[in-house]
Chain A
Amino acid sequence: MKVTAELIEKYHLGLCTEAEEAVVEKWLAEESISDIDKFSLDLSDEMKATCKQEMWTEISEVLSMSVQAKNKPAGGKYWSPSFVRSAAAVLALVLLSSVAVWWGQKNTFVQQVAVYHNDEKNVSEKFQAHGFNIELGPNSKANINASAYHQNGQIDFCGIIMINPLEDIELTLCTECRQRAVQREKVKFKKGETYIAVNYKFDSNSELIVVNERNIIDLPPVLQREIIKQFDI
């Protein structure tokens, strides 16, 4: 039987069988966390060691408190062994979850593609994505796959999109509009800057244009004016 997050939670709620209890308590006492396979973590040995040490430090503090409590004179607060084990299990679950969230933000962590669309005709709409904020112009849409943060994240969009990166990030922008050739470009975005991306139509061709907000003046005047109007710049 392998130790999973569900099993630890079950242990905390006091719903385990005796066999399951034994497995969890054995795991808590073990030096290795290699049995944790519930999470799709790709942890290096160094990371595993760090996780283990942090968890064990927390758990040890709880256990040492329980020993002191047991040795207190009569009339003091007494922490029963079952309570201590339960608390340790909760702590382990919280720590594992925190590590998983933190690690997922930094490395490969599979996410579903997020779909955004603004069906308004005259008003732009803001959304929060993973690592950046976006604002879609009227009648614009975007599919965002932010997997591999800092790496091959991609935004497929049609219309006009404003991008505000929360950190330095490299993304592939791809225009996905009907009856137009797909355009794709990898762009480095700097934290704190604001960018506008638009699929600009030239006769039978179209071009993906990405420009820093400060350089909107370089765009054709009519497009410039439309961006100012749509995003209320």
Chain B
Amino acid sequence: MSTVVFFLKQFSCKISCGSIGWLCVLFFSCQNTHQDQSAHLHYSIYTMDKAGVDYLIETNVLDSGRVDAVQQGSKLSPHIHRDLIVRDGYYYHKSKEQLTRYQLRDKKLTAVDSIVLNNFYIDNYFWVSPDSLLLFGFDNECRLVKMAKLYLPQMSAEIDTLDLEIPAGPYRYTSVGFSDVCRGRLLLGYSYHRGNENEYIPSDTMYVGVFSYPQLKKINIIKDTRSTYPGSDNFVEPASFNDENGDFYFLTCPGIALGNHAQKPTALYRIKAGHTTLDTSYYFDVSASVIGNDAYSIYYIGKQKAIIRSEQAHLYNGWKNHWKVPHFQFYVLDLVSLELTKLPLPLDKGTRRQCVLVEGDTTYIAVNAEEGNYIWLYHTPTAHLSKGLQLDSNTNYILRIDKLSAH
């Protein structure tokens, strides 16, 4: 089945529109993004050194050796940040009302083209196909939710407004935490926030809008009060995924670094493939588990297993050192039994970052530890963990590891 899907995916890349192309695109988008058949992919590593300077390194090797950001990487200008989309050799960076596409050429990140989206604050993205990118965001008041459908070869866009309740009263701002298109169904996780006197706390309820795609007709609004703030800022790190069956899982993240709602737990929910309501039989309270803390990201690694990266509240003191102190841990979660296994990795630092990359049976995990910054390799079938690529001693953080895809 996966071979057929892969063939169809390649076929769809050759045509920008067409019923056959869209059909296989829709099917592909329900698949796990970790299934990649190429054995010669290039990788991208985004780092920050001890002086706060960012670098981008492109490499073919993550499982061994040592890399020096200054010697082998490209120094980035201060206006580039790690909230990037990385795909097919390109880097997409969002700034106010604009998405710019870059490529690394002669060790310099060069803007290739861009698109301006007026009155559109970009908050979330989803790849419908290799040539079509959905962006979700708001008007400048952060209340009206919009969707921009980008056609990348031309960098053109169609913008629609989604039929969601416009917030009023004290919780007068909206934020989008995840978006997912699968089998003609769009799922949009969102919250309403306060915006008074520096209070940005979300309401007690998490929301998921269910729409038909591409018609954008509202089908259902899911509400749940067991947790709040569904999803994350997926330009920085993901908090949702589809498994091989097309079932959709998402974290709610009310921890200090995201939702900031002290009374609600981090939790894992599921919406089964083709359904428009929550799977009521599935709810995992991460904060009440052996993890005992909040988490901000989850990565599917295949075979009904996922990795959760969670904080340790007793090791940091407020937001000011949340990102400086190594306190994060990695757990493998069995999605069926809900059994957790802590990975014997050193404590990791860096509040939110894209630090897990899955390729077949191998999961690469970037860890910023006291002893140094390494890419670790986790072999899913055997649960074997080993050290891989080492970053130079002047690297302070590995902020992203991405698959650049075949050139």
Which chain B residues lie closer than 8 Å to A159 at the CB level? 197-198
Q: Are A222 and B198 in contact (CB under 8 A)?
A: no
Q: How far is the CB of A20 from chain B (nearest CB, A)?
A: 59
Q: List residues 157-215 of chain A with CB under 8 A from any CB of chain B.
A: 158-160, 177, 198-203, 206-207, 209, 212, 214-215
CB distance from B283 to the nearest CB of A (A): 24
Contact of A222 among B78, B83, B193, B318 (CB under 8 A): B193
Name the B residues within 8 Å of A206 (CB-CB).
Answer: 198
B224 part of interface (Cβ distance < 8 Å): no
* Interface 0/1 of B253-286, CB less than 8 Å to A: 0001111101100000000000000000000000
Range of interface residues on chain A? 20 to 34
Binds B, one of A63-71, A90-98, A225-233: A225-233
Whether A220 pairs with B82 at a CB distance below 8 angstroms is no
**B185 vs chain A, min Cβ distance (A):** 25
The contact of B318 among A201, A207, A217, by CB within 8 Å, is A207
Cβ-closest chain B residue relative to A219: B319
Neighbouring A residues of B105 by C-beta, 8 Å: none
Instruction: Give chain A residues whose Cβ lies under 8 Å from the Cβ of B236.
Output: 217
With a CB–CB cut-off of 8 A, which chain B residues contact A218? 323, 351-352
The dominant DSSP class at the B interface is loop
Partner of A177, one of B193, B197, B258, B323: B197
Chain A, Cβ-Cβ closest to B236: A217
Q: Evaluate whether A221 and B96 lie within 8 angstroms (CB atoms) in the complex, with A201-B201, A202-B262, A226-B195 already known.
A: no
Name the CB-closest residue of B to A233. Answer: B96
Contact of B140 among A203, A217, A229 (CB under 8 A): A229
User: Could you say which residues of chain B place their CB within 8 Å of the CB of A221?
Assistant: 123, 175, 232-233, 258
Which residues does chain A contribute within 8 Å of B201, judged by CB atoms?
Answer: 201, 203
Contact present for B197 and A201 (CB under 8 Å): yes
The CA of A177 and the CA of B319, in the complex, are separated in Å by 19
Q: Is A139 an interface residue (CB 8 A)?
A: yes
Q: Is the Cβ of A222 less than 8 Å from the Cβ of B256?
A: no
Binary flags per residue of B231-247, CB closer than 8 Å to A gives 1, else 0: 01100100000000000
Residue of B at shortest CB range from A207?
A: B318
Q: Inside 8 A of B90's CB, which chain A residues have their CB?
A: none
B197 contacts A217, C-beta separation under 8 Å? no
Q: Inside 8 A of B195's CB, which chain A residues have their CB?
A: 226
CB-defined contacts of B320 to chain A, threshold 8 Å = 207, 209
- Are A202 and B121 in contact (CB-based, < 8 A)? no
Q: Is B142 an interface residue (CB 8 A)?
A: yes
Residue B173 at the chain A interface, CB threshold 8 Å: yes
- Complexed CA–CA distance, A201 and B202 (Å): 12
Q: How far apart are the CA atoms of A212 and B78 in the complex, in Å? A: 11
List B residues 9-44 near A (Cβ within 8 Å): none
Give which listed residue, B140, B173, B257, contacts A220 with CB less than 8 A: B257
- Contact at A209–B319, with CB atoms within 8 Å? yes
Chain A residues within an 8 Å CB radius of B163: none
Residues of B within 8 Å of A, CB-based: how many? 36
Chain A contact residues, majority secondary structure: mixed
Q: Complex formed: what's the CA distance from A207 to B78 in Å?
A: 27
How does the 8 Å CB contact mask read for B177-198 relative to A, with 1 for contact and 0 for none? Answer: 0000000000000000101011
Known contacts A214-B52, A222-B173, A222-B193; decide if A202 and B260 are in contact (CB<8 Å).
Answer: yes
A212 and chain B: residue at smallest CB distance: B52
Q: Are the C-beta atoms of A225 and B121 separated by less than 8 Å?
A: yes
CB of A123 to closest CB in B, whole Å: 13
List residues of B (148-175) whose CB comes within 8 Å of A's CBs.
173, 175
Who on chain A is nearest to B124 by CB? A221
A225 to B123 Cα, complex, angstroms: 9
- In the complex formed, the residue of B with least CB distance to A232 is B96
B142 touches A220 (CB 8 A): no
Q: How far is the CB of B75 from chain A (nearest CB, A)?
A: 14
- Does B102 sit at the interface, judged by CB under 8 A? no
Q: How far is the CB of B170 from chain A (nearest CB, A)?
A: 13
User: Does the CB pair B82–A222 fall under 8 Å?
Assistant: no
Contact residue among A139, A203, A222 (Cβ-Cβ distance under 8 Å from B262):
A203
CB distance from B292 to the nearest CB of A (A): 18
Which residue of chain A is the closest to B48 with respect to CB atoms? Answer: A215
Chain B residues with Cβ below 8 Å from A217 are 81-83, 236
Shortest Cβ gap from A72 to chain B (Å):
65
A229 near B197 (CB under 8 angstroms)?
no
Q: Are B319 and A222 touching (Cβ within 8 A)?
A: no
CA distance A212 to B54 in the complex (A): 15
Task: Say if the beta carbon of B199 comes within 8 Å of chain A.
Answer: yes
A64→B52 CA distance, assembly (Å): 60
The CA-CA distance from A229 to B78 in the complex, in Å, is 20
Contact A139 B197 (CB under 8 A): yes
Residue of A nearest to B141 (CB): A229
Task: Point out the residues of chain A lying under 8 angstroms from B173, CB to CB.
Answer: 222, 226
Does B92 reach chain A (CB closer than 8 Å)? no
Asked if B127 is at the interface of the complex by the 8 Å CB criterion, the answer is: no
Sorted nearest first, the 6 A-B pairs with minimum C-beta distance are A203-B262, A222-B200, A217-B81, A221-B233, A201-B199, A207-B318
A-B contact pairs, 16 of them (CB 8 A): A139-B197, A159-B198, A198-B198, A202-B256, A203-B201, A207-B318, A209-B320, A214-B81, A217-B83, A220-B257, A220-B319, A221-B175, A221-B258, A222-B202, A225-B175, A226-B195
Given pairs A220-B258, A229-B140, 14 additional interface contacts (CB within 8 A): A200-B319, A201-B199, A201-B201, A202-B256, A206-B198, A207-B319, A209-B320, A212-B52, A217-B83, A218-B351, A220-B256, A222-B200, A228-B96, A229-B142
B residues bordering A, Cβ < 8 Å? 52, 78, 81-83, 96, 121, 123, 140, 142, 173, 175, 193, 195, 197-202, 232-233, 236, 256-260, 262-263, 318-320, 323, 351-352
